[in-house]
Structure 1
Amino acid sequence: MKSLRNICVNVGLAILLTACATPYDTEKSFWSFGKGFETAQIAPDSWQISFVGNTNTDRALTRKYVMLKSAELCQKAGFPYFTFTNEQTYRDSVGQFGVGASSSNDLLWGSSTIDKETSSIVEVTGLKSNTSNTGARVYDTNYIIGHISIED
């Protein structure tokens, strides 16, 4: 009976933790269940940023997170402007597995839910000026940081 109570408490805690959108300051790790940000500098002026959100993190929120993270990285490196050289956003179905106990105290394994994950991978390049020969849109880091709110 005690193990059933422990299972119920753990399931309740897991449900509580997944009830909100993935927070902005989450770094991808084992403890965040693979959700959050991962950044890698790929050149002196460029970064690859990936973000994976949970079911409650939609494409619009994912885009805001990635835009703000790009502006912060570029500002910290001394680039007042930036552009995306590559951008991909997906909304994928992901199976979740659960555990249950039968009346004979045997553990039962099975698929319990299907969740949607939103993921985005971008390559961002910092720029010293507001002109770009690539024809891509150029963003002002200070404007993005001052006008994108993740508290909405």
Structure 2
Amino acid sequence: HIDKQTMEIHHDKHHNTYVTKLNSAVEGTDLEAKSIEEIVANLDSVPSNIQTAVRNNGGGHLNHSLFWELLSPNSEEKGEVVDKIKEQWGSLDEFKKEFADKAAARFGSGWAWLVVNNGQLEIVTTPNQDNPITEGKTPILGL
């Protein structure tokens, strides 16, 4: 459970700030025409003078956008992803435990992710606002 105040802070303040600062950083560049996924997946091609701002704020924007997109009320625990999780971790509870343990072990700020990596599910963490897309992994759950 995440309380209402935390959600409002992340939506109205953090995410809004990431978008504003990202837009400012890419203003007047060819990055304005690219999707946030394309920008974050190709950080090495971002001009060095704005790379840190784009990494931090672009990552924050992408991570929060994915979080909001994946957020849902109590949903049924079924479907292809749940089946794959049960197959790989033995049960949904075992997956939740490993996911929570890895998230708690992340030092400082960051994210825990369920990703698809070379066709397999994997739990990874990233520091700060980094996103697994920069490593060629596809995030399907982030917290």
Greater share of helix? 2
Higher Cα Rg: structure 1 or 2?
A: 1
Of structures 1 and 2, the one scoring higher in RCO (CA 8 A, sep 6+) is 1
Where is the strand percentage greater, Structure 1 or Structure 2?
1
TM range, smaller chain: under 0.3
